[in-house]
Chains A and B, each alone.
Chain A
Amino acid sequence: MSETNGQQPITDNKVDQKLVGIRGWLIFPSIALVVGPTGEMFLVLFSLWALGTMMNSNYVTYTTLEVIAVGIEGVIRIAILFYAFVAGLRFFKKSRNAPQTVIRLIVVSLVVRALLFILSAVLFESVDIPTLVIGLVVPGIVSPIWILYFRVSKRVKATFVNQEDIFGLPYKVVLPIRYLLRRPITYFAVLAVALCVFIVVIVMTVMTGLVDDFKQKNHDFVGDCVVGSESLVGFAYYEDFVKELEGAESVEAVSEVIKGYALLSPRGRDVNRGVEIMGIDPVRHSRATGFASTLYYRKDDVSRAFEPSYDPNLPGCVLGIDIPLQRDANSHYSYQASPSRVGFALTFFPLTARGALAGAGAGLVNTKTFYYSDLSQSGLARVDSSLVYLPFNEAQLLCGMAGPVKRVNAVHIKFKPTVGLKAGCDAAAALWNRFKEQKAGENQAYLLDTVAVQSWKSHRRMLIAAMEKEQTMMTVMFGFVGIVTVFIVLVVFYMLISHKSKDIGVLRSIGASTADIIGLFCGFAFLVGLIGSLIGLSGGWLFLLRINRLEDWLFEHFGYQVWDRTMFAIGDIPSQVSPRVLAVIVFSAIAACLLGALVPSWQAIRLKPVETLQVNQL
C-alpha cells in the first residue's frame, strides 16, 4: 500500500545498536525505579501506621485536621507508588511510553514533595532546613536534568521502542478522563466547582462552628435538663423532689437555683442598674452545669467562688464578666491578678408565694452588700453582661423564698453519660408528674402547676432558634451558589457536547446504547465534581487553618474584623472542620455536577447519529 501523505514509520532501522539497552546513564533511573518505589512503600506503611496510632491514641489528642492531613499524605503516596510501579514496568519493558511516564513521575513527585512540604510547614509551623534542602532543593535541581535527558538522549530514543503491552481501560473510563484533560473548557467547570466548594466549606464551617459553639455554651450554662417555673415566685417542696432526683438512676447531679432580678449599685455611688441574679450552691451547680469552667479566679476551687480573696469572711458575688470589665477590639479583657475590693449593694424585691411583694405594707425591700469575689465568662453575651451569681441561701432569703415552706425557681439536672437527652428528660418528667400528684393536697401545691420539665435545648430555644434560623438562611443562600454551579456545569457540558457530537455519532454507529452515552457524560461530570470538590476542599481547609491569623492581619493593617469583638462575644473564628459537613459538601458538589450534566446528556442521546456524522457537522 503506498502512502503519499503519510509519515515515516516510527522505527528507525539504522539505530546504532551500541546505544540500545538499559546501560550508561540509564542505570541510575533503573536503580531509582527499584529503590524509589520500595522506599515509597515503607513511607506508605509508615503513613498508615501513623494514622492508626493517631486515631487510637489515648495520650495525645490529635485534631481532625492533623488526622486528615496524614490521611491525605497516605493517599497521595499510594497514588505515587502506583504510578512509580507503572513507570518501572514500562521502563524495564522498554516501552515507547516509558520516557514520557518517567518524566511525568519526576514532575509529579516534585510537585507533591513541594505541596507536602508546604502542608507540613503550615500545619506544624516550622521549616526544617536540612529536610528542605534534601527533600526539595536537590530534587529541584536534579529533576530538570533528568527530564532533559529523557527528552533528548539518543540512548533513550534507541532503547524505548517497544509497543505498549499494557492496554485498554474501557472507553467509558478513558474518554471522560481524556475529555477532562484535553478540553481546557472543562478546567473552568472544575474551577467553578472548586470555588463553590471553597466558599461553602468556609462559610459552613464558620457558621456550623458558631452555632455549635453557641449551643455548647448554652448547654454548659443550663445543664442537661431544667425543672423550673417562669414565674418569679418559684415553686415549693423542691427538697423532696431533689431527693427523689438524686435517687434516680439516670441522674448524675442536681442543682437548685434561685432566679430573680435586682438593682445593683457600686457602693459609694448613687448609680444603679438592673441585673439578673442566680442563687446557687457553687459546688452542686458546677456538678450539674459548666459553671466552674466559666470562673476566672476560682476555677480550680469552685467551693470558694463566693469567698473574696481579700477577705473570705465577706459575702461574695460572682459577676458576669462584662459587668466590671470591657472587651477590647481583639476580644480580650484586662484581668487583674486578683479581684479588687469592690462592694455592690444589691436591692431585691422579695415576693410571697402568691406573688405579692413581701412586706409591702411596711415598704420593705431587701438590700445587702456583696463583694466582688470572681468573674464568670460563659461566652453568652446576655448572661455575661447582666448576671450576678450569689450564694444560694442568701439569694433565697433576699428573694423571700426562705419562709417556712422554702421555694426555688428551678432545678438544673445533669444526666449520666450513658443516658440520652430525651430518655433522661422523659424520666425526669415522669418523676415530676408523680411528685406533683403526691403533693396535690399541700398548701402551695398550686405553684407546682407552673413548673415545666425541659431539655436544655427547649429551655434555651428562643436563643438557639435564632442562630439556627440564621444558619438555615445561610445554607439556603449557599444552596443558590450550588445552583449557579449546576448552571456553569450545564453550560460547559452543553458546549462540550456540541463539540463532541461527532463522537456521540461514532459511538452510536458502533452500537453504544443511550445509557452508555449518558454514562459517559455522567462519568465526566463525576470527575469534574470530584476533582473540583477536592481542590475546593483542600483550599478551604488550608484557608480555615489560617483564618484567624488572616483576620488578625486584616485588623492590624486595615482595621477590619469579620465580627466586631466589642459587640459580639466571639473569641476566635471557628475553624474546626467537621468531616460530616465535608462529606455532605463533596456529595452535594458531585450531585450538582451530575445534575448539570443531565440536560446536555439527554440532549446528546437525542442526537441522530446520521446528523452528527454528516460532513457539515465536522
Chain B
Amino acid sequence: MSERDIILKSEGIYKSYRMGVTRVKVLKGLDLAVERGEFAAIVGASGSGKSTLLHILGALDKPDKGIVQFEGRDLGRQSGRELNRFRNKMVGFVFQFYHLLDELSVLENIFLPAMASRSILGWFGCRKWAKSRAGELLEQLGLAERAGHKPYQLSGGERQRVAIARALMNEPRLLLADEPTGNLDSATGNGILDVFEKLNTAGQTIVMVTHDERIAARAGRIITLADGRIKTGRVGLAPPNRPTAE
C-alpha cells in the first residue's frame, strides 16, 4: 500500500473517558490506515471503542494522544474553521439513529451540508447545483417520491437512505458509518449495505462500524478492534476497489 493510496491514517491513538472516579481507557495506541476506494468495516464488542474511533477519524472528537492524518494532513493541527470545512467537505457521517432534523423535509435534510458551508446569499447562488445534486441522490437512493416528506413520515430504511444522501451531498471523499444497520431489520439493513456496496463500487471510500460480523463481512476489509487496539485485519466479501487516486 503506497502512501499515495492512503486516504486516512491514524497512529498511536489513545482515548480515555472519566466514569465517576475511574478513568476508562478505550483506545490504547491504535494504528489504522484506510486506502482510497476501500470499504472497511470495524468490528468489535460493545464498548470496545468502535464509535469513539470513528468520531476521532471524522474529527468529531479529539484523541488524548496520537495522530490522525487525512490525505497526509494532520487533523490535530487544523484550526476550528479548517475542521468545520473538513467535516463539511471531506467526510460524510451516517449514524445508527439517522439523526435527521425533524423540522426539515427530506430534501431540506439532504441540502443541509451544502447550506452549512455557505452564507445565506451564497446558498441562493448555488441552489441550481444543489438541486441537481440532490435530485441525483434522491433518484439514486430511491427517494424521489419522498422529497417533500418529513422524517417521521418515513420508514427506518428510508430515513437511513436520507441520512446517506445527506452524507453524500457535498461529494465527500470519505463516508463514515456508525452502525448504519443497527436500528433496522435484517432485510432493510441489507438494503442499506447494498447501497454502500454500490457507492463503493463507484469509488466511494467507506469506513463502517458494526458489532455484527455478518454485516462486516459485506465490506472489503474487516478490522477487529479489541482491547483498544486493532487485533486483526481480514478480507471481506466485497470485491477490492482501487480507482485511480484523484
* Interface, chain A (partner B; CB < 8 A): 1-7, 9-11, 96-97, 163-164, 167-168, 170-175, 178-179, 182, 502-503, 505-514, 516, 608-610, 613, 615, 618
Task: Give complex CA distance A7, B149 in Å.
Answer: 12
Binds A, one of B27-35, B69-77, B104-112, B214-222: B104-112
Q: Is the CB of B99 within 8 A of A505?
A: yes
Q: Considering the chains assembled together, what is the distance between the CA atoms of A172 and B99 in angstroms?
A: 18
CA distance A170 to B120 in the complex (A): 6
A513 and B81 contact, CB distance less than 8 A: yes
Q: How far apart sit A3 and B120, CA to CA, in the bound complex (Å)?
A: 37
Complex A-B: 10 CB contacts under 8 Å: A1-B195, A2-B190, A96-B148, A164-B107, A168-B130, A170-B123, A171-B108, A507-B116, A509-B58, A613-B95
Distance in Å from the Cβ of A617 to the closest Cβ of chain B?
10
Give the distance in Å from the alpha carbon of A509 to the alpha carbon of B178 in the complex. Answer: 13
Q: Determine whether B103 belongs to the interface, using a CB cutoff of 8 Å to chain A.
A: yes
Return chain A residues, CB-CB under 8 Å to B85.
Answer: 511
In the complex, B49 has a CB within 8 A of chain A? no
Complex Cα spacing A478 to B145, Å: 54
Contacts of B190 in A (CB 8 A): 2
Q: Which residues of B contact A (CB under 8 A)?
A: 52, 55, 58, 60-61, 80-81, 84-89, 93, 95-97, 99-101, 103-104, 107-108, 111-113, 115-118, 120, 123-124, 127, 130-131, 142, 144-149, 153-158, 161, 166, 185, 187-188, 190-191, 194-195
The answer to whether B55 and A174 have CB atoms under 8 Å apart is: no
> A608 touching B101 by the CB < 8 A rule?
no
**Is the pair A615, B60 in contact by a Cβ cutoff of 8 Å?**
no
Contacts of B191 in A (CB 8 A): 1-3
Q: Which residues of A contact B95 (CB under 8 A)?
A: 613
The distance from the CB of B57 to the nearest CB of chain A, in whole angstroms, is: 12
**B120, A173: Cβ atoms under 8 Å?**
yes
* Residue in chain B with minimal CB distance to A612: B99
Known contacts A172-B115, A509-B60, A609-B60; A5 and B155 CB within 8 A of each other: yes
A163 touching B115 in the complex, CB below 8 Å, given contacts A6-B158, A511-B85: no
- By secondary structure, the B interface counts as helix
Min CB–CB distance B5 → chain A (angstroms) = 26
Q: Are B84 and A512 in contact (CB under 8 A)?
A: yes
Known: A175-B101, A506-B99, A509-B60. A1 touches B123 (CB 8 A): no
Chain A binding surface SS class: loop
Chain B residues, CB < 8 A from A512 = 84, 88, 116
A168 touches B107 (CB 8 A): yes
Whole-angstrom distance between the Cβ of B45 and the nearest chain A Cβ: 16
Decide: A182 near B112, CB < 8 A? Known: A5-B188, A511-B84, A613-B95: no
With A6-B157, A613-B95 given, is the CB distance from A164 to B120 under 8 Å?
no
Specify the chain B residue showing the minimal Cβ separation from A1.
Answer: B191
Which of A175, A513, A609, A615 sits near B97, CB closer than 8 Å?
A: A615
Query: Beyond A1-B191, A172-B115, is A511–B153 a contact (Cβ under 8 Å)?
Result: no
A179–B146 Cα gap in the complex (Å)?
22
A97 to B120, CA, bound (A): 24
The answer to whether A516 and B130 touch across the interface, beta carbons within 8 angstroms, is no
Residues on the B chain within 8 Å of A170, using CB: 115, 118, 120, 123-124
B188 contacts which of A2, A511, A613, A618 (Cβ < 8 Å)? A2
Residues of B within 8 A of A97 (CB): 148
Do residues A9 and B145 form an inter-chain contact, with CB atoms below 8 A?
A: yes
Residues of B within 8 A of A182 (CB): 103
> From residue B58, how far is it (CB to closest CB) to chain A in Å?
7
4 A-B pairs with least C-beta separation: A511-B88, A6-B155, A178-B103, A1-B191
